[in-house]
Amino acid sequence: MADIGVGDVTSVRVHPAIGVARVGNSGEHFVGPEIPGRPPEPPGASLEEKFKDAEGRVKRQAARFRCFGFDDRGRWIELTGRPEVSVEWTVTLANKKAAAPRFAGEGRRNEGQDAGDLTIAPGPRRVSGPGKSAAFDDGRIAFVKDGRRHEFTGVHLGEIRTDEAGRLLVLGGRGVAGCHPAAVNDPMDAFNNDHWYDDVSDGPVEATVTITLPGSEPRTLRAERAWVIVAPPKFAPELDSPTTLWDQLRYALGLAQVPDRPSYTHDIRPILQRARTVGAVHRRASDAHEWADPIDDPVARQNIFAKLGDPEVTGGGGGGAQMPRLRGLTASHPSLTPVQYAIMRRWRDGDYERDWQGPPDPGSAITPDGLDRAALEACVGAALFPGIEAGRFLLEKDDRGTPKHWKQPLDRLRLADTVAAGDVTARMAIPWHADFTACAGSWWPVPRPNQVVPRGQAHHLEWDRALGGVQGMIERWHMLGFVVRDADGRHVEVARSLSLPAKQELVHHAFAVTEAVSGPGTLWSNPGELAADVADANLVSYGQATLGAAGEVQSWPLWLTEADNALRVEIRCVDPDGLDVSLETPLGPRLRPDQIGVITTRDGQRLVARIGLPIDVREGRYAQAGLWRLHVRGVEGRLPVTYQMAATVESLIVFPALAMAPHDGEVTATVDFTGSPIGNAEAGLLPMTETEQQDELALTPERAVAVTHLAGRTTVAKQTQYLRFQVTGTSPLGHPFTRERLVQVSELR
């Protein structure tokens, strides 16, 4: 703190200039980063209870604001918490997503509806003095679909509180998303979903300060306002992205400069360290960034720099020799900023200060500039497609190339008076859960991990394993794990409460296979024909059903893994044109026959669609592992219609060594797994139809650790014609799956 008194204050500013709160479904909270280089430190009895409460609910991150007084020479003093100072805080939060222009698309979301109905704007809230609170709990939003209006009331965007010193805490929403009832089964897009809302928000933080000194009249000053952004959770809260929002904003506003001789400790090492630690949340980086500080060797410097993409040519990044591994980049929205790239070039050339004395101590001092930096360094700066906390709105420039939404002087990081509550987050994904799902791969592995190492294990697993696609993210995001540093210095996943699907959920076929099927010969007239058609294939799901009502949709769950190379779906139907068929990917977008990437053949009453995996479903978002759904809907005027379906995969998970031998009415079965190793393996022999009296045979592993061999014996009833050999388990990255083979019993006798 500079050596000035309260009486010397001539102006007041709120800091941080941009604070960041995060949603959570717990009543508990912690305060976000306030000192650069020091991650948040929530109280907790264990690693599991740092960022979740004892009930496993996600704690909200609060943004804490303070008032600082400045004299005419720029010296400052914190005013909040002083007995001669009182502060009245005013905060306005809004969510304008549903009425905003589409991200990466044309037009507006919910075109044709009144923007006022689509904006969640509870209005301003005010508090003054220690220990006060006010809630943004009366928001509303309304959608019209198919001529029917549906309104949500009591939408909770968060609350404001003051602590014991009168500092302001802004807490966000609960992570809720909702939609018009008629939109529940609509296809989900990564960015723009009409008739949906979520409870993130943003808005101004204002303060009126009254200073009362002995012997003087009270003096009232209006503080320079700050801003708050309420964002999704950050599931690796102790790590930062290679390019932070602090880096990106300072470059965009012309504030970042290349030092004459960059410091290894303060300029170069932070970039290297963020790349080094990303291996905790991105498996492919875990073995590639194991450098030891300081990196002074000329060959190592050359090799590392050669991997960086030039941001002024392509935007940098993208993978391979274009690091960081991000997508959606352009020269206007780069990965590393040109300033960061120039710093790394000087390091490559040996033109830098060799000042490494070990990691610098971040200290404990609270400063105005430190609050600004700490809040934004914890946020994603690339790729802003659309982003996590904030997006390209903050980087926009006018026709003269001047930052469009910022107030002079730019180094104070104050948004212009023309910016209103809800503007900063308006074009972010709606709901945020959709883009969070779609950004598996090479997007934002720090706030949204890709792969993680669970505590007590040695190998990476997929962070969102067994989640169940976009709907799973909407319903169960709070059950995912956090990545934290353990006592040994390793970053491990803890506090995950999302379990594997129950076996009946994995193996459930939406519609039973029957003995006889009416229709022409192109249909499978009995299970034997189906078994012959799919001999030696890895069946994921199969069966038959009848659609009888207009608008009825039947959905078949298909659990796939990272070891699956192709998905093949065959549908047989007397009237194929009476069916509307689509495949919902785990990332949300749906694929249809004949579109790019879906090889489709039609042969009379057969439709076959084959998809090579992984498949790019939108702007570098690749769908492969997770819960796929085959949706079949009847076309009005052609109902009822009966159809049959069989879905198979080409996979590295195979069990070719299936052996079955009859012994006086009994069958002994053994299976050996080859290809990709699997975990949690179970196998069994089941009857083909519900009418057959056949006890299920559960095969048991001979070794408990590495499941490669299962064996068992059961009695087969005389009337049994077919058996289903069924295997469930998890892939090397933890994705659940089910596979089946169909066996004709007569061939065993």
Q: Which domains does the chain have, with CATH numbers?
A: 11-237 (no CATH), 527-651 (2.60.120.380), 654-744 (2.60.40.10)
For residues 372 and 17, is the Cβ–Cβ distance under 8 A?
yes
pTM of the model: 0.93
**Of 51-65, 258-272, 572-586, where does mean pLDDT reach its minimum?**
572-586
CA triplet 550, 554, 558: central angle to 5 degrees?
160
What pLDDT is attached to residue 699? 59
State which amino acid sits at residue 381.
Answer: G
Q: How far does CA 467 lie from the centroid of its chain?
A: 11
pLDDT for 522: 61
Nearest-angstrom CA–CA distance, 704 and 401: 65
Q: Give me the pLDDT at residue 723, please.
A: 74
Mean pLDDT of the chain: 88
Region of poorest pLDDT, from 403-412, 449-458, 525-534 = 525-534
Q: Which residue has the higher pLDDT, 83 or 105?
A: 83
* Confidence category of residue 133, pLDDT binned at 50, 70, 90: very high
DSSP E strand boundaries for 574-664: 579-584, 590-591, 598-603, 606-612, 615-618, 621-623, 626-634, 641-651, 653-663
Q: Which residue has the tokens 């969102």?
A: 464
What local confidence, expressed as pLDDT, does residue 516 receive? Answer: 44
CA distances from 357 to 289, 299, 301, 354, 368 (A): 21, 22, 19, 9, 27
More confident position, 174 or 603: 174
For the cut 90, the answer to whether the pLDDT of residue 71 exceeds it is yes
Q: What is the pLDDT of residue 21?
A: 98
Q: What is the pLDDT of residues 670-721, one digit of tens each?
A: 766 666 778 887 777 776 655 554 455 565 554 433 355 565 655 555 556 6
Ranking 351-355, 415-419, 571-575, 720-724 by mean pLDDT, the lowest is: 720-724
Mean pLDDT of the region 643-657: 84
The pLDDT assigned to 511 comes to: 43
Asked if residue 264 lies in contact with residue 356, where contact means CB atoms within 8 angstroms, the answer is yes
The percent of residues in the chain predicted with pLDDT above 90, rounded, is 68
Residue that wins the pLDDT comparison between 654 and 689: 654
What pLDDT, on a 0 to 100 scale, did the predictor assign at position 510? Answer: 41
Q: Would you tell me how many other CB atoms lie within 10 Å of the CB of residue 313? A: 10
Under the banding of pLDDT at 50, 70 and 90, the label for residue 258 is very high
* Residue 618 near residue 589, CB atoms below 8 Å: yes
Q: Is the peptide bond before 122 cis (omega within 30 degrees of 0)?
A: no
Distance (Å, whole) CA 180 – CA 149: 8
pLDDT at 695: 53
Query: What does the block give as tokens for 486?
Result: 């353990």
Sign of CA dihedral 698, 700, 705, 708: negative
Check if the beta carbon of residue 455 is closer than 8 Å to that of residue 486.
yes
pLDDT class of 331 with cuts at 50, 70, 90: low
Residue 582 pLDDT:
95
Q: Write the pLDDT tens digit of every residue in 342-360.
A: 999 999 999 999 999 999 9
Residue 189 DSSP class: P
Check: CB of residue 308 under 8 Å from CB of residue 336.
yes
pLDDT in tens, 17-47: 999 999 999 999 999 999 999 999 998 879 9
Triad 151, 153, 155: Cα angle to 5°: 120
β strands within 115-238, DSSP E: 120-128, 133-136, 139-145, 148-155, 158-162, 168-171, 177-179, 196-198, 201-211, 219-222, 226-231
Q: What is the pLDDT of residues 508-547, one digit of tens each?
A: 554 454 444 444 456 777 767 777 788 778 899 888 888 8
Residue 307 in this model has a pLDDT that exceeds 50: yes
Three-state DSSP class for 556?
strand
- Which residues lie across from 9 on neighbouring strands? none
Mean pLDDT of 161-188: 96
Backbone angles phi, psi at 496, to 5 degrees: -85, 125
Question: Does residue 14 have a pLDDT over 90?
Answer: yes
Partners of 161 in the β-ladder: 133, 169
User: In this structure, are residues 167 and 64 in contact, taking their beta carbons and an 8 Å threshold?
Assistant: yes
How many CB atoms neighbour CB 342 within 10 A? 18
Residues 460, 283: contact at Cβ < 8 Å?
yes
Confidence of residue 76 (pLDDT cuts 50, 70, 90): very high
314, burial (CB in 10 Å: exposed 0-12, middle 13-18, buried 19+): middle
Output the pLDDT for position 705. Answer: 36
Looking at residue 29, what is its pLDDT? 97
Q: Residue 653 in contact with residue 561, Cβ under 8 Å? A: yes
